[in-house]
Structure formats: C-alpha cells, structure tokens
Amino acid sequence: MYKIVTNPLVKCTTGKNLNSVKGIVVHWVANPKTSAAANRNYWENQADGVCAHDIIDLDGTVLNCVDYAKECYQVGCPTGYTPRALKELSSYPNNCVVGVECTHIDWTGLMTPETYNTLVEHIAFLCKKFGLTTANVYTHHEIVGDYKDCHRWFTNNPDEWVKFKARVEDILHPAPVVKPAPVQPKPVVKPVVIPPLTGLLKVGVRGDQVKFVQQKLGVAADGIFGPNTQTAVKAFQTKNKIAADGIVGPNTWKLFFQ
C-alpha cells in the first residue's frame, strides 16, 4: 500500500464545498523532476487558488493538500468545456471533481514507476470511495479540450490512457480466482500374473489362465472356459493358421505372447 501524507493548503483554496463528486481528474504538474512538496508550496503562494486535492510524488507518496469535500480551481477553462464534460459533469466541472496531480521526470510527462503504480492504486481507491467507475475518470484534457494537454503523457499517448484505466479496472473488478481441480490419485492397477501353461485349456476349465485367454480374445473374462470362449479360440486358431480344435495348448498359448 502506498503512503499518504497530509499537508493542507491554507491560502490556496476556493473556500467552497463540492456539490458532489461525479468525476476524478488526472493532471501533471508541468514541472519535471520537482517534488510534491515543492508543487504544494508553489500553490500556497499563488493568489488565484489553482490547485488539486492530491499530488503523487516521484517516490509514489501521495501528498493530500485539500480535503475531498472542498472545491479546487483545477479545471477552469475560459474557452469552454468539452461536450462530454458538460454532459457528464456540470457547466462548471470544478464543483464536482476530485483532482490528482502527478510529478514526472521529463517534459513528455513520463512518470517514475513508483508514481505510475501509485496513481493506479489511488485512482482505484478514489473510485471506491465515491462510488465511481473508470468511466468517471478523466484527464484534464478530456474536460477542457485543446486548452490544456494535461496530463501530457496520457494526452499524447491515448493507448497508454486505455492501458492505465484497464489496470484500475483490474483492481475494481478483479478476475475471480479459479482454484485448480484437485488431482485425483490414479488407481493402482495390479498386474495380472499369468502362471505358465500347465495343462490344456478347454471347456470346463476355470482360473486366471482362462481369464487371460478371454481378455486376449475380447470375450467376457469370467475365468470359465465355456462355449463362447471355445468359439473364440477356434477363430483365433484359424486366423493364425493352426489346428482349430478350440483347445488352448502350447502352440496356441505361445501365440498370445507374440
């Protein structure tokens, strides 16, 4: 679990409460390799109230700057909002969104693995907290259009935004764990030990030798040499071109082992 540190802003707030939370907005700080604390302190010294609720640091720590019940001036847009934002949020989206800023390592907006992984977990946490889904997660750009290319990494790499939301979705709706079926032990099959032929096998003889012959011939293996067995023996002898007398003697017996 990632670490959350609270350092509330004092001066840099709008002073208003959110009407409700309809969306979560992902931003970049637009200042490579700067810490969450540095960006928080920059906000505190501004007069226009521009800020977001959280900043994710380069090491993955979340710095909470504004209570989630409070409004932040984070997605103001003098040129007008996108149709999607107007439809899904409000005519003034600041009053219904929670914002998360991300530190990054260069001007493409590329994040450290720690920042990225925390962003995945934290957005999932906020979705659960406010009863939202990944459909309610926006980049700043998706709300204000070309006025801002924020978060720049996701704006310029839309496939990465799709992958990111899929990872959040995996946390919100993990695939069920399928337990492997228990491995059934294989039955122990005892080998049939056939004693050497000690006499002729014919009608009326019983025993394992008869059962063996019946198994070889594909007839009911009851161990009793009856008429059906005799008929099968004769057919076997004929097929192998020996005298078809229906009696298993040494010559017939040998054929079963070839």
Do the strands 54-56 and 62-64 form a parallel or antiparallel pair, or are they unpaired? antiparallel
- Residue 88 DSSP SS3: helix
Question: For the chain, which domains are there?
Answer: 4-172 (3.40.80.10), 208-255 (no CATH)
Task: Walk along the chain (258 residues) and give the pLDDT tens digit of each residue.
Answer: 899 999 998 777 677 899 999 999 999 999 999 999 999 999 988 877 778 999 999 999 999 999 999 999 999 899 999 999 999 999 999 999 999 999 999 999 999 999 999 999 999 999 999 999 999 999 999 999 999 999 999 999 999 999 999 999 999 999 888 888 888 888 886 665 677 787 888 899 898 889 888 888 989 989 899 999 999 999 998 899 898 998 998 888 888 877
Angle (CA) 144-122-90 rounded to 5° is 30
Would you tell me how many other CB atoms lie within 10 Å of the CB of residue 245? Answer: 14
For residues 45 and 9, the answer to whether their CB atoms sit within 8 Å is no
DSSP state letter for 206? B
Query: How far apart, in whole angstroms, are the C-alpha atoms of residue 193 and residue 196?
Result: 9
CA-closest candidate to residue 36, choices 67, 12, 65: 65
